[in-house]
Amino acid sequence: MSKFKKKGSGELPKISTASLPDIVFMLLFFFMVATVLRDNTLLIQNTLPAADQVQKLDKKDRVIYIYAGKPSSRYQDKYGDQPRIQLNDKFATVADVGAYVLAERAAKREELQNVLTTALKVDGETKMGLISDIKQELRKVNALKINYTTRIGDYSQNQ
């Protein structure tokens, strides 16, 4: 037993935990940065309308996004306040939609090319004319599965 007796004033050597916070902070920063990934910087106002009969749209690799709405306030003096289409990070016209969808489709893996959904993220204030035009373009390129992306909520919030 005397073998384990403390010798003199020699204290038990402490394991330094000083680096533990660093490790944890590293993890913390990773999660803080990684979880708020946004694919596109929005150039438009995008308040989605509310609906409650919704289906989830998971598997992001099978989705093509099309945004539409009024340009945000800082772009309005340049682009006006009429609703516009945004594809990737640029404003586009209706005529560009078909080519964009085809390009996006071609970039996907072959086995996914038939199961793609086009998600329309359109601001609630937009007029249906623009959306009908987009839909016509989508029909032309045979991208028939669409999803009107909404917020989850009661329709009364749309008034």
Taken in order 84, 87, 93, 97, the sign of the CA dihedral is negative
Using the rule CB under 8 A, is 46 a contact of another protein? no
State the amino acid at position 102 in one-letter form: L
Separation of alpha carbons 60 and 49, rounded Å: 21
Taken in order 72, 78, 79, 81, the sign of the CA dihedral is positive
Using the rule CB under 8 A, is 76 a contact of another protein? no
Which residues sit opposite 71 in a β-bridge? 44
Minimal distance in Å, beta carbon 137 to another protein? Answer: 10
Minimal distance in Å, beta carbon 11 to another protein? Answer: 13
Which residues sit opposite 68 in a β-bridge? 85, 122
Which residue lies nearer to another protein by CB, 96 or 133? Answer: 133
Minimal distance in Å, beta carbon 115 to another protein? Answer: 13
Kindly list the residues in this chain that would bind another protein in the complex (CB under 8 A).
Answer: 17-18, 20-21, 24-25, 27-28, 31-32, 35-37, 49-58, 63, 117, 119-129, 131-132, 135-136, 138-140, 142-150, 152, 155, 158
